[in-house]
Structure 1
């Protein structure tokens, strides 16, 4: 019985933690024993402030030409420009820009 409860709590915690990490929320679990010997799990969620926010493609495209050149990429912190360029060797398209910002 105790081992089953530990396993259930462990799986529950893993699932909640995985989901909340993806959603940038903090999960607060409180486990309390009742007078009956049962355990009650109280789950609370708290939104975490984002430390990093990606500029939109339009904001990053400073000259408005529809692509992010090496200078614009460097200004946004993309140091390995050639790693992310796939379609046009001179600039990043929106998909390439977003991938570079997330990695």
Structure 2
């Protein structure tokens, strides 16, 4: 069944980084991210930015990266889904670089 799904939709890999920050930096972190919406991430074109629950960058491939603040603690959560572990790592790294932490 898994092989059939991979054949149909391609491989998908996912990871999340939790990054601690000083709560006094929250506004500066958010401003940093909002000031630098990229046109590409991990070498793929960003085709949509969704700001409903954090900031999600959707790529031309349908994969994505999301930056959001935890609602309960001073953590920045950075998520990514890509077609390989290397792409996920690149998405996470580039998203974190946008935050400045």
Give the alignment's TM-score, normalised by structure 2. Answer: 0.23
Pick 1 or 2: higher relative contact order, CA cutoff 8 A, min separation 6.
2
Specify the structure having the higher radius of gyration (Cα).
Answer: 1
Greater share of strand: 2
Give the alignment's TM-score, normalised by structure 1. Answer: 0.23
Greater share of helix: 1
